[in-house]
Amino acid sequence: MNPLVRRLASLIVVVGSLNSGAQLSAQQRGDERVVIEMRGVPEGKHEPTVLIFKSGDYAKFQIPTPGAPFRPEILTAAQGAEHLGGMFGVLPAGTQVAYHYHVNRESIIVAISGEATEVIEGKELAFKTGDIYYIPPGKKHTTINRTNADFRYLEFFTYPPMGSDFVEVK
């Protein structure tokens, strides 16, 4: 297994599963996309598994592409999540997410290190470590890192997967 994928999978703690043989594994697909999956659990025949995402570990995680955005999915249907997705994001200094909105998606974004500016419907708001933003459907938003350090965050959202329901505003 790729060392990057192994390190990302190690950040998630499996608390419980109906099948005691369940294991987390991960695969790297493409340059940035990392998919973390449950193994050893028959599809559709398992009790939901409790997962713990330790923000302090993500805050210290060394990404493979310093200076470039990094956004692997950390919660997917492959882990048994039916209505929720999750990602770990690193927004390097001087970069930003495209201005966009989601038709149906609701998002919770947790700042875990650094600071950025969240722009919601044209209004700029400080986004600092420990802040948690809720973004409802239809609200145009972007995250801008105007600092000299990485901004790291965890995002959990409805209507997965990550790339669905994304409408860029030009």
Per-residue model confidence as pLDDT tens digits over 71-110: 999 998 887 788 999 999 999 999 999 999 999 999 999 9
Predicted TM-score (pTM) of this structure = 0.78
Contact between 132 and 110 under an 8 Å Cβ cutoff? The reply is yes
pLDDT tens-digit map of 132-155: 999 999 999 999 999 999 999 999
User: How, if at all, do strands 33-39 and 100-101 pair?
Assistant: unpaired
Please give the residue that has the higher pLDDT: either 120 or 48.
Answer: 120
CB atoms within 10 A of CB 119: 18
Architecture of domain 3-168 in this structure: Sandwich (2.60)
Q: Evaluate whether 101 touches 168 at the Cβ level (below 8 Å).
A: no
Residue 57 CB contacts under 8 Å (≥ 6 apart), including other chains: 11
Give yes or no for residue 40 having a pLDDT over 90. no
Domains of the chain, by residue range, sit at 3-168
pLDDT at residue 65, as a whole number = 87
